[in-house]
Structure 1
Amino acid sequence: MTRTVITTEHAPTLPGAPLSQGIRKGPFLQVSGQLPLDPDTGAVVGTTVAEQTAQTLRNVTAVLKAGGAALEDVIMLRVHLTDPAHLAEMNDAYATAVSEPFPARTTVYMPLPPGLLVEIDALAVLDD
């Protein structure tokens, strides 16, 4: 099975970072961790967890779309937050963008670069 790199101008790229926006192999599409960056400018979008979660999920969705998938194809989302106190606000923004039945999810807390509050990656399975 061939491994296919997925790229789109509708999601940000990190110059010099040794990663692909997404990789598809067979029916599996893995979206690299997306940040709340504007794809056109690279600037951080929003100062709140809600704003940053919404932008991050827009970026995840853009990579999914470029790979022939949608949020409905996602079986697993991993959310990385900088502060456990942000969980409720992130959950509210998340539930606005991701509909039931919700994919499986893991939420972890870790440091991110200054100004960034959230990072999200996704694993989708497509019907071939």
Structure 2
Amino acid sequence: MAHTIINSQNAPAPIGPYSQATMANGTLYVSGQIPLHPQTGELVSSSIEDETHQVMKNLEAILTEAGMDFSNVLKCSIFVKDMNNFGRINEIYGSYFTSNPPARETVEVSRLPKDVNVEISCIAFK
């Protein structure tokens, strides 16, 4: 099966041996995004709301590079360091899906890359 690597200059460069996203047969698989600012490479960590917005902006940049937007998203996976932040994360996350939100799971984990508080990946279809 042929697939295409998707990379956006408007999202952080991968910090390991992976691509920002891959597309196969119209389905886009977006790697987990953390709250790294794409231009500065600095973590956004002023609040869980700001972290979540940055994660969503990073996802949006990759979706845009693939010719998609949040309406194309079929499923998201949210990884959180502290489930007590779920309500605040959910409020920001929900603002990006104004109609027909995708399927999703949210999982509390003990640790995330660069010790961030939230990471989100998604699958989208064109």
Q: TM-score, normalised by structure 1?
A: 0.92
Q: Which runs of 5+ in 1 are unaligned?
A: none
8 Å contact 1:44–1:115 — kept in the other structure? no
Shift of 1:100: 1.6
Q: Which runs of 5+ in 2 are unaligned?
A: none
Partner of 1:4: 4
Q: Deviations over 1:70-124 (max 9, x none)?
A: 1000000111100010000101111122222111111011111455110000100
Q: State the one-letter code of the partner of 1:39.
A: P
Q: TM-score, normalised by structure 2?
A: 0.93
Give me the whole-angstrom Cα distance separating, in 1, the residues matched to 2:97 and 2:33.
15
Shift in alpha-carbon separation, 1:52–1:18, aligned structure 2, 3 A: same
Identity %: 32
Q: Deviations over 1:39-65 (max 9, x none)?
A: 011101132211111110000010011
SS in 2 for 1:30: strand
Q: What CA RMSD, in Å, does the superposition of the two structures yield over aligned residues? A: 1.2
Give me the whole-angstrom Cα distance separating, in 2, the residues matched to 1:11 and 1:114.
16
Indicate whether 1:87 and 2:93 are aligned.
Answer: no
8 Å contact 1:81–1:118 — kept in the other structure? yes
Give me the whole-angstrom Cα distance separating, in 1, the residues matched to 2:14 and 2:122.
17
Give me the whole-angstrom Cα distance separating, in 1, the residues matched to 2:98 and 2:123.
16
Aligned residues: 125
8 Å contact 2:3–2:23 — kept in the other structure? yes
SS in 1 for 2:77: strand
Give me the whole-angstrom Cα distance separating, in 2, the residues matched to 1:20 and 1:107.
23
Give me the whole-angstrom Cα distance separating, in 2, the residues matched to 1:51 and 1:101.
24
8 Å contact 1:47–1:115 — kept in the other structure? no
Q: Deviations over 1:2-49 (max 9, x none)?
A: 21000011000134x010000000110011001101001110113221
Partner of 1:29: 28
Partner of 1:44: 43
Partner of 2:125: 125
